[in-house]
Amino acid sequence: MRIPELFKEGKTVLSFEIFPPKKTSSIDTIYNTLDELSDLNPAFISVTYGAGGNTADSKTCQIASVIQDKYNITSAAHLTCVNCTKNDIDVILGQLKEKGIQNILALRGDINPDIPPKHDFKYASELVTYIKEHGDFSVSGACYPEGHMETESIIDDIKHLKIKVDAGADHLMSQLFFDNSHFYDFLEKARIAGIDVPIEAGIMPVINKNQIERMVSMCGASLPVKFTKMMQKYEHNPEALRDAGIAYAIDQIVDLISNGVDGIHLYTMNNPYVARRISESISSLL
């Protein structure tokens, strides 16, 4: 099923993100995770591109195929372009088509200073255009409630997002955030700009201190006082911090659902325990 079809009933959609195991790990580890996640009945599961951003070398396509064929759950494969030529993208699109994958999350990808970028694609919007011209896929895009770290203002970011949607992105997933007011402000600006596709709120439950430090440095999400106090109070008690992080994410999600958000995209970090606790807490609200 194509992802936009999941939003036609007007109910809040719950979806998950997972990532492929490291090359040194057995792929069976992710299948064990999927056994548990599938019991939670997500509307779809997206699979990241793995370390290095090269979908062709990762197990993204294989895992996305298993999600659909074994678990009968819609899947989406992440695809980045910063280190890809058009020929590289053609190969990956062929693999996805062969496996029956209908949904792609088109991303520029992070620039690695140790890897010279290719120059066929400069922006994710160019990848969206290329995919729509060279395959029959539903294409999702990323959006940034607090603005992309490389843009000068949220207004500029909204303009770039509109270009991406006009290029063919028919569904958006947001970067993580910890203050819902940022998402609501972004959503209002996006709708005013004429962006009318479903927009899912990306929620990451923070369950350890290293995780939050890494994520904030990567995406630039701001930390509200309430969140910071929680981290400080429980930073030396791992179990309490995990439970507090789950509770914080649930509070965010309840507020978002109450305000009519299109969907919740849960960054599971391949942790079925956390995903289950959150899913079971909000199941009656969906």
pTM for this prediction: 0.95
Integer Cα distance of 126 and 277 in angstroms: 39
Q: Beta strand 199-203 with 169-176: parallel, antiparallel or unpaired?
A: parallel
Q: What digits encode the pLDDT tens for the residues 129-169?
A: 999 999 999 999 999 999 887 877 899 999 999 999 999 99
Check 5, 9, 17, 146 and give the catalytic one: 17
- Residue 165 within any structural domain of the chain: yes
Integer Cα distance of 177 and 224 in angstroms: 10
Phi, psi at 39, each rounded to 5°:
-65, -20
- Residue 2 within any structural domain of the chain: no
Task: Name 256's Cβ contacts closer than 8 Å, sequence gap at least 6.
Answer: 180, 183, 201, 203, 264
- Residue 51 within any structural domain of the chain: yes
Q: What digits encode the pLDDT tens for the residues 202-251?
A: 999 999 888 877 777 777 789 999 999 999 999 999 999 999 999 999 99
Question: In terms of residue numbers, what domain contains 17?
Answer: 11-281
- Residue 250 within any structural domain of the chain: yes
- Residue 3 within any structural domain of the chain: no
- Residue 199 within any structural domain of the chain: yes
The count of domains in the chain is 1
- Residue 1 within any structural domain of the chain: no
Active site residue 98: no
The CATH number of residue 93's host domain is 3.20.20.220
- Residue 286 within any structural domain of the chain: no
Q: What digits encode the pLDDT tens for the residues 50-64?
A: 644 454 456 999 999
